[in-house]
Structure 1
Amino acid sequence: MPGESKALDTGSIPTNGEAAGLPLAVHLPEPRHEYEPPQPPANGTVTDAGIQPGRSNLLGRRLRSAAPWLISAGAFFIYSLISVLRYERRESMSWDLGIFTQAVRAYAHFQAPMVNIRGQNLDLLGDHWHPILMLLGPVFRVFPSPITLLVAQSFLLALAAVPLTRTAMDLLGPRQGSAIGIAYGLSWGVVQAANFDFHEVAFAVPALAFSLCAYIRRDDARTVLWSLPLLFVKEDLALLVPVIIAMVVARTRLRGRAGYQGAAIGVGVACGALLTSFLVKVVIPHFNPDNAYLYWKEGGCLDPGQHAGLGRLMTCVPGQLLDGLGVKERTILLTLLPVAFVAVRSPLVLLAVPAMLARFVNVGSAYWGTDFHYSVIPMVIVFAAAVHGLVLMKESREAAARRQASRKPQDQHRIQAPPQPSRRSGSPVQGWLRAVGDAQLKHGAVAMLAVAAALTQSFPLQDLWHHETWFPDAHVAAVKRGEAAVPSGVTVETTVTMLPALAARTEALWIGNPNIVEPPEYEAFDIDRAGWNGQPSALDFVRSRHPGYGYEQVFADAANNVYVFRRTD
C-alpha cells in the first residue's frame, strides 16, 4: 500500500478474524541489535579486558618513542669517537682543550678557575663568562682527563637531537621526524664542534634546542625556563634570553597586533644588548687582573679604545662586514643548506643573526669560515627553525582545507556559475612560492637528510675512513712518552700538542705565552727542530727562554723532535 513501511513484516493472520472483518493483527518484529563481536586487529588479540594491542604494534610504538634517544645515542657515539681519536693523535687545534681542562680541574677541587695557560694568575671568568663549567667539576674529580670534557661535549651536542626529533615526529610524522633528527646528527656544524677540542658553547646547544622546540609546541613556560641556562654559558649568548622571552610575550599577550609585537621584540633585543654589555663591561673585567675585556680589539672599530664616534661606526662597521664577503657568503649558504633552506620559512631563523653578525664583524678571518666550533649555535637554530617552518606550512594548508570544506555544504544547493578569472588571483611569484612550499613540506625532511649525508664527505666524519685516524704514528708515541716523563703537580711549559694531557695533572703553561712570570720546573715541547727560534739546539732554546736558569734534559726523541727538560736551579 502507498505509504506503508517496507521495514515492517506482517505476522500470521487468524482466519476467523479476517472473516469477521476485525482489524488485522500486525506483529512487529523483535528489534535487531546490530552488534558484532569485536574483531581482533591484524596484530592484536581479544581478551576479557578488550582488544589488546599486538606485539608488533606495541613494539612499533616503543620504537617510535625511543627513536629520538636512539638517534641521540648514535650521534653521541660518533662525536665521542672523532673527538677522542683526535685527542689520542694529539691533534689539538688550539689551546682551548688545555685551558678548559685546567679550569674544570680547579672547579673539581673547589677552587677559582685560575688558568695559567691563558696567562699566569688569570681567573678564566675574567676571559669569558661561563660559570656553567662548574657542572663538570664533580665528573672531572672522578675521571681526571681531557677525555672527560670531550665526552661531555659529545653528550651535550647529541642531546639536542632528542627535542628536535621528538617535536618533528609528533608534529610532522615519525618518518619525517626521524629523518630530521638524523640530519641534525650528521650536520657539518655540529660535527665540526665535536671535532674541535672543547668549548663552553656546547652547553648552549641542548638548552637552545629544548627552548625552541617548546616554543614550537606553544609551551611558553618551558620555552622561557630552557632559555635561562644561556645566561651562564657565554656573554654573547645572554643576548638571546630577553629576545626569546619577548617572542613568548608577543605571541601570547599581543596576538594579532603586529605593531605591538614588533615593539616587544625590539625591547627584547635592547634588553639583551644591555645584558651583554653589562657582562662585558662590568662582570668580566671584575675577574680580570687588568680590569679589562680582552676581546675588544677583535671588534676592530667597535673597540672602545679607538674612541670611534657614531659617524665612524656607520662607515667602518659595514666595511668590516663586507671584508672577506665571499667566505662569509659561503658560510651562510652552508648553514642553510643542511636544512634545505626550509628554515627561512620560520621567524626563528632570525635568532641566528646575532651569532653570525658577531663573527662577520670580527676582524679575525678565522671566525668567518666553517672551521672550528663557530657554526654550532646557528646550526641548532636553523634546524629548530626548519621544524617550525614545516609545521607552519602544514598548519596553513590544513586551515585552508578546513575553510574549503566549510564552504561546500553552503554551496551544494547553489547553481554554480562558470568560474571567472579573478583580478585578485595570486601572482606568479606567490604561486611559485606555494609550489616550493608544497615540495618542501613533502620532501623537505628527506632533502635535509640527503644534504647532511652528502656534506659528511667534506667535513671531519670522512676522517673515520682513513687508516691514520685509527693508528697514530711514531711521533704520537714519542709525544706520549714525553708527557709521561713530566711528574704530576709540577709547573711545566709546553706546546699545544702536549698541553691538554699535562693540564689535567700539572700546572701547565703555554710555551707561546710571553707573560710567563716565573720559569717553570719543566719544559716539555714538540716543535720543529730546524728552527729552535734561531737557536742551534733544544737546550739553547730553553735557556734563551729563561736566561739565568739552568735546565737539564730528562727525555729526548730527536727523530720525532720531542724533548723534556727539568730546571736545576
Structure 2
Amino acid sequence: MRLLKAVSGEGRSLRALARREPALLLACAAAAVVYGVFSFLNHLHYNSGTDLAIFDQAIWNYSRFEKPTSTFLSPFGYDNILGDHFTPILIALAPLYWIWENVGVLLIAQAVLIAASIVPVYVFCRRRLGRTGGYLMAFAYASFWGVASAVAFGFHEIAFAPLLLGLILLAVEDRRWRTFAVLILALLLVKENMGVVVAFIGLYVGITQREWRTAAVTAAAGIAWFVIYTDVVQPLFVDGRAYRHWMYGAVGRDLTSALANIVTDPTRLPRVFFSGTFDPGPGWASSTKAGTIGLTFAPFFGLALLSPIGLLALPLLLERMLAGNPWLWTPYLHYSLTIAPVLVMGSADALARLARWRPLQSRRRAVLVGGAAAIAVANLAVATRFPLADMADPDFYRPSAGDRARQAALSRIPSDASVLTGSGMMAHLTHRAEVFEMRAYKKRPEYIVTDPAEYFWTRWPKAGYFDRQRLFLDKGGYETVFYERNVVVLRRQTTFAADKSE
C-alpha cells in the first residue's frame, strides 16, 4: 500500500488515479505495448543482446529453485550471477516462468516496468508544470533515446531502477520516510552500484529537505552496502577472487587509490571524464565521451543541471565515463536508462524554478507549457536516430530470409544438447544446462551453430567471433548437419578425441 501511495504522490488509490487520469494509464499501456512489441520483434530478428541470454538462463534456474547460474559466465571462472553482480531483485520475476517458460517473459516484464515508471514521472512533473506540462514531460520521458536503447538491448536488471528512482523522489518530496526506506532497500537489491546512487540520494535529501539525520543514514547505508558486497559478499560466489568490475584503472587501482589520486591531481578526473573515443564497428557511429554527455542533456536543454535533482546524474555519469570499458561511453545498450527519470524530473523542477523568476512570472504558463513542449519535441527528434524508429519500417514486422534460416538451424539442435553460438542466437538457446558464447569458450560442445557473417548483421557486433569460428571450423571433429544462407550447424562426431590442449 505504501508503494501505491508513492506512485500517486497524494495518497490516492490506483482506482482514484485511474478516474482522475485515465489518459495516463492509457499512455502507460500504449508505451508497454510499443516497448514489448519492439522487444519481441527485435528478438525474433536475432538482435537481442548478450545480457538477455545471461539473465534468462539464470532466472529460469531461479524458477526451478536452483542456483541462478548462467553458463555464459563460465569463461570468467564462475557461473552464479550473484558473483557477477548483486541482483536479488530478479527473484521477483521467477514466478512468471511458471506461467510461461519463455525468454519473452523478461521482455514483457521490462516493457511493463519501464512503462510503469512513467506514472511517478508524470505525477512529479504535473505538480510543477500542470497537467498539460506533465503529459508533455511524460511523453519526453517515454521517447527518450536512453529508453529506446535499453529496450533494443533486450533485458537488464536495471529495468527496475527508473520506477524505483521515480517513487523515491516522490517519497522524498512528500517526506514519507518509511516508504522512502522501503524503496531505498529495493533499489539496493537491483545492483551493487546502486549503493553509490543511494549515497547521492542521501545528499539530495539533506540539501532539499534539511533532514540531515535521514540523509546521513541513507548515504552511509549506500556506501556501506557497496563496500560490503564488493569486499565480502561477492568473493563468496567466486572462490574468493576480487571484484572483477573495477574498471577504473585510469583513476586508481581501487577506490582508495582513486580517491587519493583525485585529491593529489585534481585535473585527473576531468581529463578522464571527458576524453575518450570508441568505434564499435560496422553499422555503428563512433562515440566520444563528450558527445554522449552532450546527447544526454541536449534534449532537455541542460535544464536538469539547474535542479538539485541533477545531482543524482553525477554518480551515473562518473560510473560510465571513468570506466575502462568503452561501451559505457556510448549512447548504446542499457546504460542511459537509469538516468532517464533524473533528467525529466530534474528538468521539470528547473522549469518551475525558472517560471518563478520575476521577469517571467507574467508569462508563467507559457514558460511551463512551452518549455515542456520544446523538451518533448526535442526528445522525439533525437529518438528517430535510435532503434525504436525501426517500427516505422514495414520490413521490421516480417522475418527475413536470414531469420528463417537461423530458426531452421536452431530447430536442428536437441533441447538437452550443449551448444556454442554467437550473441544473436544466444537468447534463443538458454533453457538448457550448457550454452556458451562463441567469443570466449574454448572447449568443444556437442553442437555449434554459427553465422560467419554475424559481425555484419547483428545489432551487437563482436570482432572476436571471426577468430573463434575459424578455430572450431579448422580443427575438425565436427560434421555439418545444416547449412543455409551462411548459417551453419555442426555436430560433434562421436569418434572425436578431445584435444589435449583443452
Q: What's the TM-score, normalizing by structure 1? A: 0.72
2:38 and 2:152 in contact (8 A); partners too: yes
Shift of 1:319: 3.5
Check conservation: 1:493, 1:509, Cα contact below 8 A: yes
2:241 maps to a residue whose letter is N
Match among 345, 355, 359 for residue 320 of structure 2: 359
Asked if the contact 1:522/1:565 (under 8 Å) is kept, the reply is yes
Deviation (angstroms), 1:475 = 1.2
Partner of 1:552: 479
Identify the residue that residue 282 of structure 1 maps to in structure 2: 232
> Which residue does 1:230 correspond to in 2?
187
Deviation at 1:451, TM superposition (A): 1.2
C-alpha displacement at 1:487, in angstroms?
A: 1.0
Partners of 1:106 and 1:113 within 8 A in 2: yes
Is 2:164–2:186's contact at 8 Å kept on the other side of the alignment? yes
Residues 360-418 of structure 1: CA deviation (Å, up to 9, x unaligned): 10122221121111111111111122233345556x57xx8xxxxxxxxxxxxxxxxxx
Aligned counterpart, 2:30: 74
Which residues of 2 match residues 251-400 of structure 1 at below 5 A? 251-252=208-209, 254=211, 269=219, 271-289=221-239, 291-297=241-247, 299-304=249-254, 310-311=260-261, 314-315=264-265, 316-324=268-276, 327-392=288-353, 396=356
Aligned alpha-carbon RMSD (Å): 3.4
CA distance in 2, matches of 1:305, 1:268: 20
Distance 1:198 1:466, change over 3 A: same
In the alignment, is residue 455 of structure 1 matched against residue 410 of structure 2? no
Deviation for aligned residue 1:115:
1.3
Aligned to 2:371, what secondary structure does the other structure show? helix
Partner of 2:64: 109
Q: CA deviation at 1:202?
A: 0.5
Structure 1: distance between partners of 2:269 and 2:487: 45
The structure with more radius of gyration: 1
Amino acid at match of 1:502: L
The residue identity in structure 1 corresponding to 2:303 is: V
The alpha-carbon deviation at position 81 of structure 1 amounts to: 1.8
- Provide the rounded CA distance (Å) in 1 between the counterparts of 2:129 and 2:258: 50
Number of aligned pairs?
459
Kindly state the Cα deviation for residue 107 of structure 1 after the two structures are TM-superposed.
0.7
Contact 2:83 2:236 in 1 (8 A): yes
Q: 1:562 aligns with which of 475, 488, 502?
A: 488
Task: Quote how far apart the aligned CAs of 1:503 are.
Answer: 0.7
What is the distance in 2 between the residues matched to 1:526 and 1:306? Answer: 45
Deviation at 1:215, TM superposition (A): 2.5
Counterpart of 2:237, as a letter, is: F
Tell me the secondary structure at the aligned position of residue 338 of structure 2: helix
Which residue identity is paired with 1:296?
W
Q: Secondary structure at the match of 2:419?
A: strand
Q: Bigger CA drift: 298-307 or 274-283?
A: 298-307
Paired position in structure 2 for 1:136:
93
Q: Secondary structure at the match of 2:305?
A: helix
Q: Distance in 2 between matches of 1:252 and 1:466?
A: 48
The match for 1:526 among 430, 436, 451 is 451
Is the 8 Å Cα contact of residues 340 and 444 (structure 1) preserved in structure 2?
Answer: no
Distance 1:445 1:552, change over 3 A: same
* Separation in structure 1 between the aligned mates of residue 50 and residue 201 of structure 2, nearest angstrom: 33
Equivalent-residue separation in structure 1 for 2:248 and 2:479 (angstroms): 40
CA distance in 1, matches of 2:233, 2:152: 31
Deviations 1:330-370 (A, max 9, x none): 32232223334332332011011001011110122221121
SS in 2 for 1:144: coil
Q: What percent of counterpart residues are identical? A: 30
Letter in 2 for 1:561: V
The one-letter amino acid paired with 1:341 is: G
Output the TM-score relative to the length of structure 2: 0.81
Report the Cα distance in structure 2 between the residues aligned to 1:310 and 1:223, rounded to whole angstroms: 33
Q: Distance in 2 between matches of 1:247 and 1:298?
A: 25
Q: Structure 1 stretch 495-504 or stretch 161-170: which is displaced more? A: 161-170
* Structure 2 letter corresponding to 1:475: G
1:88 matches 2:44 = yes
Provide closer, same or farther for how the CA distance between residues 236 and 534 of structure 1 changes in structure 2, counting only shifts above 3 A. closer
Specify the code of the residue in structure 2 equivalent to 1:372: L
Q: Given that residues 70 and 80 in structure 2 are in contact (C-alpha distance below 8 angstroms), is that contact kept between their aligned partners in structure 1?
A: yes
Please state if 1:512 is matched with 2:439.
yes
Kindly indicate whether the alpha-carbon contact (under 8 Å) linking 1:485 and 1:564 is maintained by their aligned counterparts in 2: no
Tell me if the contact between 1:478 and 1:562 (Cα under 8 Å) persists in the aligned partners: no
CA displacement at 1:250 relative to structure 2: 5.6
Cα contact 1:186–1:452 (8 A) shared by 2: yes
Give 1:441's match in structure 2, choosing from 364, 368, 371.
368
> Against the structure 1 CA distance between its residues 434 and 335, is the aligned structure 2 distance closer, same or farther, given a 3 Å change threshold?
farther
Once the two structures are TM-superposed, the CA of residue 223 in structure 1 deviates from its matched residue by 3.2
Provide Cα deviations, 1:87-137, integer angstroms capped at 9, x if missing partner.
110023x42111111111111111111211121652111111111111111
Distance 1:441 1:219, change over 3 A: farther
Letter matched to residue 494 of structure 2: T
- Contact kept? 1:342, 1:444, Cα under 8 Å: no
**Contact persistence 1:126–1:289 (CA under 8 A):** no
1:210: which partner in 2?
167
**Contact 1:301–1:313 under 8 Å retained in 2:** no
In structure 1, C-alpha distance between the alignment counterparts of 2:375 and 2:73, rounded to whole Å = 40
- Determine the C-alpha separation between the residues in 1 that align with 2:239 and 2:491: 30
Give the distance between the partners of 1:361 and 1:311, measured in 2 at CA: 13
Number of the residue aligned with 1:489: 416
Query: Which residue of structure 1 lines up, in the alignment, with residue 153 of structure 2?
Result: 196
2: CA distance between counterparts of 1:476 and 1:359?
A: 34
Equivalent AA in structure 1 for residue 397 of structure 2: W
